[in-house]
Structure 1
């Protein structure tokens, strides 16, 4: 059974077994969230979102339509995702950009991830980075704009 704090607003019926949703979080009706996830306080999850199993979402994160987050992903505090390259007030795009976060990826605190890109399997994004293009699997990326720093082999940075 999932554990939903009484001060959270969870409209979705698709929240997996063992997932914990902390206080002051909002999950909209059509979102799909896997098992054993940890959705911290002050998280907003829109409708067209799929989150896998064993995902941690730290406080202050908004997960917009078009996000696909696979299993065992870590999303640090205040990570910012986008889904529109040309946002304007009161002008809503018909098709949002799809962003894919592959299994085992970790995204450091206060990073910004532009819409329409893929963060590769087991990759690491350093805190405060601005990711503007696809990140291949097993790489550490840092900076603004983020760039490859090192390869990651067997959970060690080489």
Structure 2
């Protein structure tokens, strides 16, 4: 069974897996699917067309917008910024949102910004404060603005 703080606002039509913890002032919209054994920290928002795998940690202040796909064993640091609209304008909406995909085992550092439509590869690491403007290959470590590869991790 999931553990949900009483101040969290969870739509009845969302799915939350066994063992997941949802903390204070989290908002989860109708249709969102969250796996088991996740930790969704305080002051986070998850829109309806979001899929989150198992064993995912989402630290405080993270907003996941429609189209976002998070695979298993991902870590998302505090205040990491996900986007889904490449040309945002007030009251002007795209035909489809460009979600972000974060592959299995990847880590996103605090305050990193991820632009729409990118994929973070398996076991990649995005450094704190990085601005990611294009796909990140698996096992790559990226830092800076714009983010650039500074090294590769081994797969063992």
**Shared fold per TM-score greater than 0.5:** yes
**CA contact 2:14–2:30 (8 Å) conserved in 1:** yes
Q: Which residue matches 2:9? A: 9
Counterpart in 1 of 2:76?
75
Give the superposition deviation at 1:94. Answer: 2.1
Query: How high is the TM-score relative to the length of structure 2?
Result: 0.97
Unaligned runs of 5+ in 2: none
- What does residue range 1-158 of structure 1 map to in structure 2 within 5 Å? 1-11=1-11, 12-154=13-155
Q: Write the deviation string for residues 56-76 of structure 1: whole angstroms up to 9, x where unpaired.
A: 000000000010000000000
Residues in 2 aligned to 1:8 and 1:77: alpha-carbon distance in whole angstroms = 18
* Counterpart secondary structure, 1:128: coil
Q: Give 1:92 shift.
A: 1.5
Alignment deviations for residues 33-55 of structure 1 (CA, whole Å, 9 cap, x no partner): 00000000000000100000000
| TM-score with structure 1 setting the length | 0.96
Aligned residues: 155
SS at match of 2:152: strand
Question: How far off its partner does 1:145 sit?
Answer: 0.2
- Where structure 1 has 5 or more consecutive residues not aligned to the other structure, the ranges are none
Residues 104-149 of structure 1: CA distance to partner in whole angstroms, max 9, x if unpaired?
Answer: 0000000000010100000000000000000000010000000000
Distance 1:10 1:103 in 2: 25
Q: CA deviation at 1:99?
A: 1.4
The whole-number CA distance in structure 1 between the counterparts of 2:141 and 2:129 is 13
